[in-house]
Amino acid sequence: MSDMSAAKHPYPGRLVIVEGIDGSGKSTQLQLLHKWLISEGYTVFFTEWNSSKLVRETTKQGKKNKTLTPLTFSLIHATDFADRLFYQIIPPLKAGMIVLADRYFYTAFARDVARGCPRPWVRKVYEFAVRPDIAFYFKVPVDVSLGRILSGRSKIKYYEAGMDMNMSSDVVESFSKFQGRILEEYDKVVEECGLVVMDATAEIDEQQEAVREVVGKMLADYRPGVRNAQA
């Protein structure tokens, strides 16, 4: 599936999503955007990757027992995404709200393929998804993301580091290799799907200013009750 050919949703609301490897700062930028939109008087709904109650316990147990294979990981995340899309994302869009999503199916396009799942298969799995109005990709080097993560907590998580891939017994080296693979896949996704690339090494306020400029242009013709045919 190519995002360029994905269905353009017919709903009056707007869907804005952020992507990036761990430590890219995308969540911070989305939180700042959320606060700004609310201060501007917009009605906003927020959702994030891997948060569906439907698979939460399964994911938790799989990670704890370290029994998740690349295929099961992929299918669990697809189930999580489908549940949130139909029950958390589309309803607010129908109601004319602005939906902000911390990660979308592009995460699967990058992570699942980096774990060895076939690229065409992963895209086929998400064919049911609707295209976001804006998709930001916060690009950051692996060493910068690693530094940010370790400055906020004492250790890197098992699957976050790709330890299940057996690339290295050293967690930091494994993280660097695995996240490097994800970065390579994100580059392909950006080219294929036309994501808006943001320099995630820039100052936080500088990034936010650029994000608001892009979102502001999208909202110029936004009317909560009507989907602009040209949007």
Question: Which pLDDT value is given to residue 227?
Answer: 65
Q: State pLDDT tens for residues 150-175.
A: 998 888 989 999 999 999 999 999 99
Q: Which residues contact 216 (CB under 8 A, 6 or more apart)?
A: none
Burial of residue 215 (CB within 10 Å: 0-12, 13-18, 19+) is buried
Q: Which amino acid is at 42?
A: Y
pLDDT band at 231 (very low <50, low <70, confident <90, very high): very low
Is residue 228 very low, low, confident or very high in pLDDT (cuts 50, 70, 90)?
low
DSSP string, 113-141: HHTT--HHHHHHHTTTPEEPSEEEEEE--
Looking at the domain 13-218, which fold is it?
Rossmann fold (3.40.50)
* Structural contact between residues 138 and 198, judged by C-beta atoms closer than 8 angstroms: yes
Q: What's the pLDDT at 226? A: 60
The residue among 43, 29, 198, 21 whose CA lies nearest residue 114 is: 21
pLDDT at 6: 63
Q: What is the pTM of this model?
A: 0.91
- Segment 85-113, tens digit of pLDDT: 999 999 999 999 999 999 999 999 999 99
Domain boundaries, the chain: 13-218
Please indicate whether residue 223 or residue 101 has the higher confidence score (pLDDT): 101
Task: Work out the angle at residue 167's Cα, subtended by the Cα atoms of residues 165 and 168, and round it to the nearest 5 degrees.
Answer: 125
